[in-house]
Structure 1
C-alpha cells in the first residue's frame, strides 16, 4: 500500500520547465503598446532587403499576430520563420524586440528544442537585462523572461542554475516592487523553495515555504494569492513526509485543508493534498481515518467517476488523475484489510471504457484496477469473473 506520494505536485518538474502553478504572467502584448505617428501599413515581406532598416512597430504587431495565429493552428515551424525574419531585419522598439524573442523561445519549446530556447532566453536577457532597467514595460517582459528561463533550467534538471535564476528575481523585487509582477514573484519564490529541496537543502526549502505561508495578510496587494498558499502548503507537507516527519506533514495538510478546502469545487492541488493525507494516515496504521479521508475526496469529486466523465475534455486531466489514483488507493487499502467486497466495489468505480483515445496513464490505471479485482475474484472462487476482468485488462493495454 503506497502513501499517495506518487503524483507530482508543484515541486515536480515538467519536461522542459513550466510549473504547474497557473500563473497570470504580466507579459505586455504589442497591442497595448502606444505608437507615435502613422503606423507602417505594409505587411512585412520575408524577401525584404535587410538594408531597408528595422521593422516598424505596426508591421511588427501584425507579424507577431500572424505568428500567434500560426501557433494556435499547430504550425510552429511557420510561426518560428515569421519571428526569426522579424529578428533578422531588426525591430525598432525595445519592448517589441523583447516580446518577439520571448515568443520565439516559447515556439522553440513547443518544437521540443529546449537548448535553442535556452539560448534564446540568454540572448534576450543579454540585450534587456532587468538588473539594468527601470520599472516599466521592458522591465516586466525581461523579468518574465528571467522566470521562464529559470523554469526551463529546472525542467532540464539544472537545479543549481535554476536556483540562481529564481534567487535573482527575488533580489530584483527588493529593488523594484512592480505590481504587475506579483504573481510571477510569488511563483519564483515557490520555485526557489522547490530548487532548494531538489538540491538537498530541505530545511532551507521548508523555511522558504513558511515565508510564503506566513506572509502577513493584507499588505497592500502584494501578498500571495490562495493558489500560491495552496501550493506552498502542499509542497511543504510533501517534503515533510519525504523527510520522515509524517505528523508534521499531517498538521500541514490539515491546516491547508481547513483554510482552503471548504469549497466543494476544489482544484486538483487540494484533491492531491487529501490523497496524500490519506496515504500518510494509512502508513501510520490509522486505517479508519485514511478510509474516511479517501471517501471524502471521492465524494467531493464524484463527477470524475460518473459516466459523463468518460468523455474527454469534460474533466481536467490532473484532477481526474488524482481522483482515480485515490480510488485505486482506497481499493488497495480495503483489500489489504480483507474487506474484499468493498475493495471490489471501489475498483469498479474506476472507468475502464472511454470515448476517444485515453491517455496511457488512464489505461494503465484502469488495467491495474481490473487485475487487482481479478486476483480478489479468484480468491473468492469466482473464476469466470476473474478471467473476464483479466481479459478486459489485457485488451485495455493493446496498441490503439
Structure 2
C-alpha cells in the first residue's frame, strides 16, 4: 500500500520558516522528502515538489545560494514532465525563484534564461492558474533585459504583459499588470525617454491608487517613488517632494517588507529634496525619521538606505555645527556596515570613517583623528574594491599630515613610504593624486628636518612620475614640486638652481592664467624676485616684481592679493636701496 503524505509536516515547516527558524524548517522539508520521495502517488509527489521548492527558499535566505539553485533545479528536473496544477505550479515557482536569486546575484543572463523557460513552458495558456507565473516571468525578463542593456526588448516584455493580461480582473494578475506598468517606466528611462516614463508611472498610480491588494500597493508606492526620483533629477524638486510625501503618508504604517523598503527610500529621498530646497531642518528630520524607523523595525532594514540616511544626517549635523551628533551618526555607519557581501556597504563604512577623521581634524582633535586614519588602514587596507582604495589612499595623506602636526615626523615619513609602495603602481586618477600628495608631504617633512638632499630626491621623483601626465591635478603636484625644489636649493645655498626651478615652474605652468596653478606660480614669482634682490641683481628683481604685479594685480584671489602685496613691499625696498626714493614712495 502506498503511503500518503500528511499536510501537517508542510504546515509545520512553513510555520518554522515564517518564524525565522530556517535550519529547523529545512530539516522538516528534508523529512518530507525522505519519507515520501520514493512514492508515485499524486498527493505525495505534490507535497515533495513543494517541499523542495520551499527548501530552496530557506537555503536562499540562509545565504546558501548555490544550494538553493540546486534544490530548484532538482524540482524542474524531477517534476518538469509531470502534470496536474500543483506539480506545474511547483515547477513554475522553482524557475521563478531561480531567476530571482540569479538576478540578485548579479547574473542577469542566467536569470533571463530561467524566466524565458517559464514563458516557454506555460505561456501558451493551457493552465489558467499559471498565468500569474507567466506574467511574473515576463516582468522579470524586463528587469534583466534593462540590466543587459536591451531596453527595447524590456519594453516589449512589459507590453506583452499588458497586452495579454491588462484587461483581466483576476486579483492574482492585477499586481503583475501594475508591475508591468512600473517596468515600462524603467525601460523608458533606459531609452532616454524620461517624460514618457514619468507619464507611465503617473498613469499606473492613478489607475491602481485605491486598489487594496498588497502586491498592487507595492507597485503604486514604487511608481510614486520612481516618479519622484525622476522629477528631482529633472530639476522639479517641489513636484518630487509631493510624490515622496505621498508615499510616506500612504504607507508609513505598513510593516510589509517591500512597502517598508519603499517608504524608507522615500524618507531618505524626501530629505535629499528638502536639503536641495535649503530646508535643512526638515531634511534632517526626514533622515532622522528614516534612521529611527530602521532601528526600531522588526524587519531587516535595507542596509544601503540605513547607511545613506545616517550619512546624510551626519552631513546635515556637521553643517549645522553639531559635530558630536555628526560623529555619532558616522560612527554608527562604520560600526554597522563595515563588512558584508554588498560592496557598497563597506565602502560607505570606510567613507564614514574618512568623514569622521576630517571632522575631528577640523575640531583640532588630532590624536582622535589619527586613531581614525589608523583604523581605516587596519580595516580596509587590504581591500581591492576601487572606491575603498581611493578612501584608504586618501586616509594615508591625512595620517601623514596628522603625524607631522603631532611632531612625529619619522612616523609620518613611514606612513608616506608605506602608502606609496601600496598605491604607487595604480593607474586610477584619484589614487595617483593621493600618491602625489603623499610625496609632496614626504618632501616637506624631509625639508623641515633639514634633510634637504633627500627632499630634492623626492621633488625629482614627483617629476619622474607625473611630469608627462596630461591630468591637470597631477600636473599641479609637479608644479608644487618645482616650487618646493627651488626652496630646497635655496636652503642649501644654491640660489641659481633655485632660480632655475622657479623659472621652469613659470615656463611650464604660468601661461594661460589657469587658476589651478595660481598658488604655485605666485610663489615662484615672489621667491624669484626676493632671491634676485638678495643676489645683488636689483634690476632683474624689479623686472620680476613688475611681471608679478602685471599678472596678478587684477585678481581678487587671496593668494594673488598677498603676492602683489609682498611684491610691492619688496619693490619699494629695492627702489630705496637704488636711491630712487620718489619711486619707492609712489609704490
- The normalised TM-score by structure 2 is 0.48
Matched, 1:260 2:343: no
Judged with a 3 Å threshold, the aligned counterparts in structure 2 of structure 1 residues 212 and 65 are, in CA distance, closer, same or farther, namely closer
Correspondent of 1:74 among 149, 155, 178: 149
Correspondent of 1:120 among 177, 200, 203: 200
Name the residue aligned to 1:280. 359
Matched, 1:324 2:403: no
Deviation at 1:281, TM superposition (A): 0.9
Q: Which stretch shifts more, 228-237 or 158-167?
A: 228-237
Name the residue aligned to 1:244. 321
Matched, 1:203 2:281: yes
SS of the residue 1:133 aligns to: coil
- 5+ long unaligned stretches in structure 1: 1-22, 24-28, 43-55, 310-314
Name the residue aligned to 1:393. 466
Higher helix share: 2
Name the residue aligned to 1:301. 380
Name the residue aligned to 1:165. 243
- Tell me the distance in 1 between the aligned counterparts of 2:235 and 2:390: 24
Matched, 1:351 2:418: no
Name the residue aligned to 1:7. none
- Tell me the distance in 2 between the aligned counterparts of 1:229 and 1:66: 29
- Tell me the distance in 1 between the aligned counterparts of 2:471 and 2:197: 36
- Tell me the distance in 2 between the aligned counterparts of 1:217 and 1:367: 38
Deviation at 1:267, TM superposition (A): 2.1
- Tell me the distance in 2 between the aligned counterparts of 1:178 and 1:125: 19
- 5+ long unaligned stretches in structure 2: 1-103, 105-111, 126-130, 168-172, 473-587
CA contact (8 A) 1:40 1:57 kept: no
Q: Which has the larger radius of gyration?
A: 2
Name the residue aligned to 1:10. none
SS of the residue 2:149 aligns to: coil
Deviation at 1:161, TM superposition (A): 2.2
- Tell me the distance in 2 between the aligned counterparts of 1:68 and 1:224: 23
- Tell me the distance in 2 between the aligned counterparts of 1:381 and 1:113: 61
CA contact (8 A) 1:275 1:294 kept: yes
Deviation at 1:349, TM superposition (A): 5.2
Deviation at 1:278, TM superposition (A): 0.6
Deviation at 1:204, TM superposition (A): 2.2
CA contact (8 A) 1:206 1:236 kept: yes
CA contact (8 A) 1:213 1:232 kept: yes
Aligned residues: 335
SS of the residue 2:278 aligns to: coil
Judged with a 3 Å threshold, the aligned counterparts in structure 2 of structure 1 residues 126 and 241 are, in CA distance, closer, same or farther, namely same
SS of the residue 2:327 aligns to: helix
- The normalised TM-score by structure 1 is 0.68
- Tell me the distance in 1 between the aligned counterparts of 2:302 and 2:139: 32
Name the residue aligned to 1:11. none
SS of the residue 2:423 aligns to: coil
Deviation at 1:60, TM superposition (A): 5.0
Matched, 1:99 2:179: yes
Name the residue aligned to 2:220. 142
Deviation at 1:84, TM superposition (A): 4.8
CA contact (8 A) 1:169 1:185 kept: yes
Correspondent of 2:310 among 233, 240, 243: 233
CA contact (8 A) 2:397 2:437 kept: no
- Tell me the distance in 2 between the aligned counterparts of 1:57 and 1:381: 77
Name the residue aligned to 1:291. 370
Matched, 1:381 2:456: no
Correspondent of 2:429 among 360, 363, 369: 363
Deviation at 1:274, TM superposition (A): 1.2
Judged with a 3 Å threshold, the aligned counterparts in structure 2 of structure 1 residues 373 and 201 are, in CA distance, closer, same or farther, namely same
What do you get for the CA RMSD once the two structures are aligned? 4.1
Name the residue aligned to 1:41. 124
- Tell me the distance in 2 between the aligned counterparts of 1:213 and 1:388: 48
Deviation at 1:185, TM superposition (A): 1.8
- Tell me the distance in 1 between the aligned counterparts of 2:249 and 2:432: 47
- Tell me the distance in 1 between the aligned counterparts of 2:228 and 2:144: 27
Deviation per CA, 1:341-377: give whole Å up to 9, x if none. Answer: 14532541552435xxx6xxx3133134225515743
SS of the residue 1:381 aligns to: helix
